[in-house]
Structure 1
C-alpha cells in the first residue's frame, strides 16, 4: 500500500502542532534531523518498512500515540 509514509508524517505533524504552523515547521525540521525529509514523500511513495518504523519511533519520542 503506497502512501502510508506520507499519511504517518502528516498525522505526526498534525498531532504535534495542534494547528500551530510554527510548531509544524519545527516538527518537520526535527524529522529531517532524524533522517526523514517530509518533503521527499508523497501519496504515491512506496512504503519502506524501515522509514515507517523510524516514524513510529519519532512519534513516540514526541510523546504521541499513533498506530
Structure 2
C-alpha cells in the first residue's frame, strides 16, 4: 500500500511537511468506510470539516465565487 501522511499524528511544529508512513492492507477498509460517508461532506457531521485544510478550501471557494459574481474574472 502506498505511504500516507496522517495530519493528526504528525504535528511536529517545525513547519515542515509531515513524514509519510506505510500502512498495511487493513487500512483499505477504513478508506472504504470514508468513501461511504462521503455524503456527510459540507455538513455539520463532516468529521474532517473543521481541519485547517478544509477551512482554507472553503474560504478559497467563497472568494472565487464572489469574484465570479462581481464579474472580476479578467
On whether the aligned pair clears a TM of 0.5, the verdict is no
Q: Which has the higher contact order (CA 8 A, sep 6+)?
A: 1
Structure whose CA Rg is larger: 2
Normalising by the smaller structure, the TM-score range is: under 0.3
Structure with greater proportional helix content: 1
TM-score by length of 1: 0.26
